A and B are shown apart, each in its own frame.
Chain A
Amino acid sequence: MLQTTGAATLAALAGCNTGTNDGASSGGGGGAPDPVRERVDVDVDEIQDGGTLRFGLGAGIDSFDPSYSTSAPAGNVHGLVYESIITQDAAGTVYPWLAKSWERVDVQEVEDGAYEPYMVSADTDDDGNLVADDQILIRNQEAGEVLTVNEAPDAVEDGTYGIKYQAKLHEGVKFHNGEEMTAENVARSYEVVENSSISAQTFDSFLYAEVVDDYTVNIYGQEPDAEADNQLPVDVYPMEHIEEYPDTGADPRNDHTPIGTGPYQFESYETEERAEFSSFDDYWLDDLGLDALEWWDGPDGFPTSPVVDEVVVAIVQDNATRAAALNNGEIDLTYGLNTGTYGEYRSAEDFRLSVTNAGAYNFLQYPVTQSPWDDPRIRRGVNQLIPRAQIAENIYNGYRNPAYTPLPEMAAKAGTVDYEALTEELRPQTEQNTEAATELLQEAVDDRGVETPIEATIETNATDDRLREAELIAQVLSNTEFFDISVEDFEFTTFIQRILGSEYYQQGNIVLIGLSGTFNPGSFYDAVNSIDNFGQCCNFNRIDTPELDEIATEARFSVEAVEDSQFRGEQYDKVWQGLIEQAPNSYTVFGTNVTALSTEYVGYNTYTFSSSILPYGLHAPEDQQVAYLNRE
């Protein structure tokens, strides 16, 4: 069975994330809107080289190895050192990066049971799940058989696969240890991800990587997959890492230096204090020049690598302390500060604010298995009571947009036929309308003989803004005759453990939390609705919408979806309409990434995902993005 799981994750002050910028989807294409608000440009002639950039990170670095990290903030560190064969601009368009070219060679329908001849029998663990020593790609629970990475080559040899991509690599790409990157590195980098903490994200669609020659590699996917161009690639590791680093991955805490092909090499790390990086002298793009990138059509003289010499990542967890550090000039930029301070950074002379519409939303999840919340009319009624405009305006000071659809605009290209039409269509059912809501609720309450007021608790994680949002919603609901809603808050990690518990859905609580998705529009559906994600990110209340699952699967894993973007959009439109109809979740506001920075750091723009705020700003030719330090 294929899981439609995207790399979606819970977003909080310190959200966790499994998708770095390569864990996202094409969606894009040339016409997608730029999510960066008020993008700033630099004049190539004015760029100054050198200097040390100090970045304030609001969370610890769980691992320096991308395949052992589930933290979105840590992605900012990974992006300095590691690179993938592709990169994605702020709108999600995929560009070949370490690969000269990255093209789909073949896509074909996969019959049910096509992989069965290659499967081997497997043991079951105490919970009845099939287990094997090697990374499992496909499970056949009834037969007790699995397809692991060992059998995948046989299937591919016989022409059993869903999709085939070919990467032709740049020649002369060097790792920080002097090793040269070849097709072997790309193919074997998947070994690093095997049975790691993010393995499910890769091996739900990856089948096999085959070395053709030194600089050509074919990568196969299990099914026809419309997101394959961005879901199949992984970060590329040197042989030293693949062969010698044990199961804990590259991390200075284990005396294993992170080694990648990236523009910065790791220098030092003081636990929970700071990490330092210096520019890599032998960076491949410096040697090859931007013209080696076939898609490059920017101005002459555009830097081939970041112009900043050294990067210091200072870990300061408390928002107020980080703001103070920025005010005092101890750091140059940071993100995730309290909304209340944004206005001041915007208007201050020595500071600037960079805002990007993020691939994220805040959502309320109802206890859909518990009475009376199992009645869709109750949920739709609540959905129409939520004061989205007030939340956006009064709590987030206009830095976030009301979520009238379940789909953020940055994923709109592949996620709908026409985003504006979709919003227009869904808005009458998601905009605050007390009258309509009262009617719905009254009908449901009378019908089922529910005693009012209905008591419930909104549970959320303890950040100021989100708590205010919960209190506002609770008050608006309680102001009607139907509800008596209270609010409870928890520290983030405690809260995650609590809501991921397998019994949690029986407690009848409403959850308010943030979701950080990917460029893949499906990530905004299945993470919070698919039963496959129950007990994981982010189905806490045992939501099950099988008929929508089917449409969402069709929208990604079918030959039609791969070849016809119109078809994809139509399928997803059906999904969004179904979601508003069944309303297992209510989407309140879309996220934004807001970075506050000193004006000494010139030309900076924020990325769509908080996992790549630092690397993207430094240098991203796909958006002609480069920033430099001008300290006077």
Chain B
Amino acid sequence: MSTERGRIRITGFDADRVESREPLSDWTEERDTETESRWERAWGEFRDNRSAMLGLYIVALMGILAVFARPVTIAGVTVQPFSLAPYDPSAILYVQGLDVSAYEAPSLAHPFGTDGSARDVFSRVLYGGRFSLSIGFIVVSITAAIGLVYGAIAGYYGGRIDEVMMRLLDLIFAFPGLLLALIIVAVLGKGYWELVLAFTVFGWAGYARLIRGEILKVKENEYVMAAKALGARDRRVIFRHVVPNAIAPLVVQASLSIGTVVIGVAALGFLGLGLPPGSAEWGTMLDATRETIVQGPGGTIPWWVTVFPGGAIFLFVMSMNLIGDGINDALNAQEGTDVATGGEV
């Protein structure tokens, strides 16, 4: 009997050789840094994306212009005293005693010309950002939040709950979104909060479906099981472990939706169903000047009354889309230089 029976021996292992050979990777202890969170990494990616940054700058600029266009007064206290817009956006200038007529072409005094009621288009376009931007952001925050909770519950619990909740979604998806918004405004009447409501009441459905799909995937992960095994309650599991890992597509979707909502608001405004007539909202401005497109024989079209508000809508929506694409690229794990693509060694 050999004395070596029952013992496991590793042969052919030469520790010296391993230590002295060329390193297989260039990893060294010094090179290791703190783990970078995906959000930090994404922001880095985003910052390197020039078109996305351009969009961000434009939106920021429009936001600043809108805020500082006219003073902001809350409950009698002026919280924002600046006034970048040269005129009150709703002021009919000849009523103020100024020698201004309707449809004056752009000039130094009125860089964007005047509209059919002799109001300053430049001031109106600046001020109009307040409506479109704020409605866009408010609607998207509310709808994304509702959609997140709804989708998370449906996706996490599954089964009959999921079944019922998803059929309700199918019901909402059966109607075109703009048509539903139109009906709501027609019933409730025109106004800022009516518009917000019109786009939020059914607008969350897309987010709900998206987040549910993500959650179906994420909830199969071991860390979810681990959290459950450790006795975490459902609420904690969903909102601490599942949702944060499923939220990336929602953020992308939300950033792209802001543009869609702004277009929707403008569309309702153009149909005369948005804000009260005479509001400086971009779509409403377009509606008020729609008929200037056809003039009498030899008449010149006052292009400035349609081009500038239309241009503002275009610029804002395009910028939002650039930002959305940028976020998409930044959050997409498949993108980036340190990820090998399939088939490569």
Contact = CB atoms under 8 A, between A and B. Distances in A.
A390 B94 contact: yes
B293 A320 contact: yes
Contact of B276 (A345, A464, A486, A596): A486
Interface string B259-298: 0000000000000100011100000000010111111111
A321 B294 contact: yes
Given A394-B101, A471-B117, A487-B278, A323 B298 contact: no
A487 B296 contact: no
Contact of B296 (A475, A486, A596): A596
Interface in A304-334: 319-321, 323-324, 327
Given A387-B95, A487-B277, A464 B116 contact: yes
Interface residues of B, number: 27
A342 B296 CA distance: 7
Nearest to A462: B272
Contacts of B92: 471-472, 475
Chain A binding surface, main DSSP class? helix
A340 B116 contact: yes
Interface in B91-122: 91-92, 94-95, 101-103, 116-118
B188 to A, nearest CB: 13
A345 B278 contact: no
Interface in A167-206: none
Contact of A468 (B117, B276, B291): B117
B51 interface: no
A344 B288 contact: no
Given A394-B118, A464-B116, A468-B117, A348 B296 contact: yes
B276 A475 contact: no
B290 A320 contact: yes
Contacts, number: 84
A358 B12 CA distance: 113
A323 B117 contact: no
A276 B294 CA distance: 27
A343 interface: yes
Of the four ranges (under 10, 10 to 19, 20 to 34, 35 or more), the interface on chain A belongs to: 35 or more
Interface in A585-600: 596
B176 interface: no
A489 interface: yes
B296 A344 contact: yes
A430 to B, nearest CB: 19
A479 B297 CA distance: 38
Interface string A381-418: 00000010010001000000000000000000000000
Nearest to A346: B296
A347 B102 CA distance: 19
Contact of B117 (A342, A472, A479, A488): A472
A344 B298 contact: yes
A14 B301 CA distance: 26
Contacts of B298: 344, 347-348
A504 interface: no
Contact of A343 (B101, B288, B293, B296): B296
A475 B90 contact: yes
B23 interface: no
Nearest to B88: A475
B295 A341 contact: yes
A519 B295 CA distance: 34
A350 interface: yes
A323 B95 contact: no
B268 to A, nearest CB: 14
Nearest to B292: A340
A390 B118 CA distance: 12
B91 A345 contact: no
Contacts of B292: 340
A464 B295 contact: no
B47 interface: no
B241 interface: no
Nearest to B296: A344
Contacts of A364: none
Interface of B: 90-92, 94-95, 101-103, 116-118, 190, 272, 276-278, 288, 290-299
12 contacts: A321-B294, A337-B296, A340-B291, A341-B299, A344-B296, A344-B298, A394-B102, A462-B277, A464-B288, A467-B288, A472-B92, A487-B278
Given A349-B297, A394-B118, 8 more contacts: A320-B291, A320-B293, A323-B295, A327-B296, A344-B296, A471-B278, A488-B276, A488-B277
A-B CB proximity, top 5 nearest: A344-B296, A348-B297, A341-B296, A344-B299, A320-B294
